[in-house]
Amino acid sequence: MNRYPVSSAIAQGNGYTIVENASLEGRNTFRVPARAHLLIDVKKPEALGEVLGFPYLKNSPVLVLGEGSNVLFTRDWPHVVLSMSSQGIAVESDEGDACRVRVAAGENWNAFVHWSLARGFAGLENLVLIPGSVGAAPIQNIGAYGVEVCEFIESVSAWDRHGGQPVELDLADCRFTYRDSVFKQEADRYIVTSVEFRLPRARDPRIGYAGIAEELKALGFCEPTHAQVAEAIARVRTRKLPNPALIGNAGSFFKNPLVGSAKGADLRQRHPDLPCWPTSDGQLKLSAAWLIESCGFKGLRRRHAGVSEHHALVLVNLGGASGAEIWNLAEEIRDTVHARYQVMLEPEPRIL
């Protein structure tokens, strides 16, 4: 896609900017080269009606991109990329034991976690250091160390492209499941503009996940505060997961697979050291990292793409990798794991 030789701004309105032939290399944490036919930055959600009313956009695929921490470009995007860059955090109501907080889609997720902890709110500490924007959090239903963001979401404001109007989706409407939501299931319909959270002032710390209690003990935190739990989790994450600012990656590349109880029991019988966790619906969640590492991929390099030597779930751009190279490695991992264990791994990032 080389219709235009260089990026150039072609339009600017009240709350938005449009750029042609825009580079996306700095807008995805894999740092792979890619370009978009049009890139639209939207700073004011109320501008969406005007922007999406442009004739070209009415029938064109629109990719909504936050900070690019959950996407892999395997090629250029010959259509429209829309980035919600709206900012703002506002306390909507104070219920005493909790507050309702409205956060704009363009706010950085980790910065919001620290905002909440600094004001005495509890619960988000397990989700510290997850890259990306607040608007992306409900789409993926981000989770880490035994906590999912849907536990704190009251509602999500979005622009409904089908109805051509803003809508408010309550918790049930969002259809949250493990790393999934209505925003992912109907990817071409909703554009998240803000998220309302209910943040408690008191909550028992959730520290049962492997390694967290040990880290807290090493830090000397016998009765840890929520901020101290966040510090421990940040230390664990930093040791295991490479910083996207230093080496291109999107965090965990594959979901932990879910299998039926019978298949899970069979796998555990044949592989007693395979970590797994029961789910509320009777299935078993398997460790994707264990499956990948057992197949010999941890630390493996394929030209410019590789698997982190610290965590088998993390695919990395070792410098100069294309998105296609990284995806080829991911397919090799997926096919090898399936051939050995008859378990199919699903990628967490959106593959384009």
CA dihedral 201, 123, 242, 176 (to 10 degrees): -140
Given the residues 83, 252, 287, 322, the one annotated as active site: 252
Whole-angstrom Cα distance, residue 233 to residue 210?
Answer: 11
Whole-angstrom Cα distance, residue 168 to residue 137?
Answer: 16
Whole-angstrom Cα distance, residue 116 to residue 226?
Answer: 10
The tokens for 56 are: 């070209």
> How many C-alpha atoms does 53 have within 13 Å on its Cβ side?
7
Reply yes or no on whether 293 is catalytic. no
The tokens for 26 are: 């700095």
Judging by beta carbons within 10 Å of its beta carbon (0-12, 13-18, 19+), is residue 312 exposed, middle or buried?
buried
Given the residues 27, 35, 179, 198, the one annotated as active site: 179
Reply yes or no on whether 252 is catalytic. yes
Whole-angstrom Cα distance, residue 317 to residue 30?
Answer: 6
Task: Dump the DSSP string for 13-64.
Answer: ETTEEEEEEEE-GGGSTT----EEEEEEEES-GGGHHHHHTSHHHHSS-EEE
The tokens for 154 are: 């009251």
Whole-angstrom Cα distance, residue 250 to residue 314?
Answer: 7
Distances in Å between the alpha carbon of 307 and those of 74, 188, 210, 247, 311?
17, 31, 22, 12, 8
- Of 96, 66, 94, 62, nearest in space to 349 by CA: 66
Q: Which residues are marked as active site? A: 179, 252, 348
